Amino acid sequence: MADATAEAEKSSAQRETEATPATATATPAPTTTTASTAPYSSEGPTLPILGTAGDPVVKIPTPAVSRPNEVEAAQGLDRPRKKRKTNNGTPASPNPTSAPPPPPLNPTLEPLRKPWTLLPSEVRAAVEARCGEGFWGGNCVAVVFTRNQNIRAGVNRLKGCLGVGGGRETKGEGEVDEVLGSRGLVVAVSGLGDAAVKVVGVVEVLKRVVGGDGEGIKGVDIMEGVEGNEAETQQRTETWYLYTSLGSTPAASRYTNKNIHKKPHTPDEPTIAGLENKTAEEDDASFEPTSANPSPIDAPETQKSERNAPVLTVWLSRLPIAEFGAEFGEEKFVVNLGVRET
């Protein structure tokens, strides 16, 4: 019995030892394989690479690009060239050396270029009766200032009209040498509306710039220390007369309708006046305005109208004008014309 048990255990142990190597041989050993990858890989699809690194590179010739003018010249086409454009978008002038045309004159300022037409009728008639109807055209120089007038330019221009400063800026708006050299010269400086302040300012600066002491003064010898020199210097001055007149001329103005943005009143909306007087509202609702009398709300936002604008004119006269003095008052100021050798 014991021998049978020992043999059974020995046989079972032998079977286990024989089964163990079989299991080990049944499981293959893991092997590592190297997969070939493409030179350019990405997560998405890639394009195939054509050719190999050793293939020669073939260059494709690029056609020469000709300019439009060269192509037209080769084809015998003669087209007119387009005008060049400047920075502001306007075509350049074909002749850049030519002077640009003068700006158009403001028609509102046209009456100021003949300031005698703005004088009171009786004053104008009295001057023309004494000096003749052609007095204005042969002796009057009109200077018109706007509210944007430069002070220095205005003073230099009036200095030229008075004969001071070498005659700079004496030309413009009809001034001629014959009128400026007239014995009875009258310089009329006018301004419309807001420009009246600029006229007063320029004239006040002018009086201080050209002012003198009122009479000729003998100065010191300009060649002091030179033997036998008897030359003297004399300061030339003139007394001018100033008159200030106020007139008016029709000028276009713009009117802005302030009621256009207001909500129109409808008869259905109750109001205190409507509750107190319902009958009056019913009568008003039955009235329909015609096109000849539009309501303020129906009127356009901006309207043009004509009104009389004030014109201030300062008259600078080389000779006194009695008619102006009696009507506007007279003021004198001295003009220093420079130094003259005697």
pLDDT tens string 155-188: 999 998 888 865 444 444 444 567 887 888 999 9
Q: What is the pTM of this model?
A: 0.52
Higher pLDDT, 205 or 225: 205
User: Quick check: 188 and 143 in contact, CB under 8 A?
Assistant: yes
Is 292 inside any structural domain?
Answer: no
Is 88 inside any structural domain?
Answer: no
Higher pLDDT, 303 or 152: 152
d(CA 335, CA 236): 9
Domain count, the chain: 1
Is 59 inside any structural domain?
Answer: no
| Structural domain that includes position 329 | 107-217+232-252+308-341
Q: Hey, CA dihedral for 141, 147, 148, 149, is it positive or negative?
A: positive
d(CA 158, CA 178): 16
Is 204 inside any structural domain?
Answer: yes
Is 199 inside any structural domain?
Answer: yes
Is 325 inside any structural domain?
Answer: yes
Q: For a pLDDT cut of 90, what percent of the chain falls above it?
A: 25
Domain CATH for 317: 3.30.110.20
Mean pLDDT of 276-299: 53
Is 207 inside any structural domain?
Answer: yes
Res 264: pLDDT: 57
Higher pLDDT, 221 or 104: 104
Q: Retrieve residue 102's tokens.
A: 């003068």
Res 45: pLDDT: 63
pLDDT tens string 232-279: 456 688 899 999 999 988 876 655 555 555 555 555 555 555 555 555
